[in-house]
Structure 1
Amino acid sequence: MDIWFIGLFIFVMFLGAITLSYQMYNMIYLDAKSRGLKHPKFWGFFSLGGNNGSGGLILYLLGRNKYISNMNDEDRAGMEKRKKKALVSLCFLVVGAVATVITVVLFEL
């Protein structure tokens, strides 16, 4: 029975991680597009990977400061929605991790 709970909570963590990555991609894509960077989809994808988990994100954040943001109201509203969805995804990730640890500790005793 405990394996079923652990599997469920790992699925919740996985769901949170995937949706958080998707929201991050879309936020970076919108930001890169509003700043006029070439290949904004590439920057969105590049920022998700890296040897340390987010090395591409750091490079993007350092490089984007050279460009001025010209985000219109529609994109700004979309960015706010994406931020809220990313927060929900992060909550799923944290709740899944905490519940997995609690389940493992309780069923080990």
Structure 2
Amino acid sequence: MYNHKHEGIGLSYPIPLKDTFQLYEIWCYMMVVKVLRELGYVKKTNGIFKMQRNSILLDLAENKESSIYLKNKSTLYFQRIYQKNTNKYYTYTQRMIPDIVIEGEEGIIIFDPKYL
């Protein structure tokens, strides 16, 4: 997203002013992506973009589990869903959706103030 300089980059859904927290969550996720890219960890980012009418749109939405693959066999997720039947990492209680997660073979790192 930072290198395209294409006028069609945008969000695929409108964000009302009352939902600015969602915009902040997306901004935080994109800042984590930027840092990981600058450190050389990003392998594949096509999981967060979609093409539509000659434009590239940021495709992050609630409960969509948008992901970026990292070079160390880890995955960076936006709002990954965890529940009883989730593969590898799961929850014993109710369904949980942290804002930003790095999931790898060694464990998970959660970036969400709700889980401090």
**Higher RCO structure (Cα 8 Å, ≥6 apart):** 1
Which structure: larger Rg?
A: 1
TM-score normalized by structure 2? 0.32
Determine which structure has the larger strand proportion and give its number: 2
Determine which structure has the larger helix proportion and give its number: 1
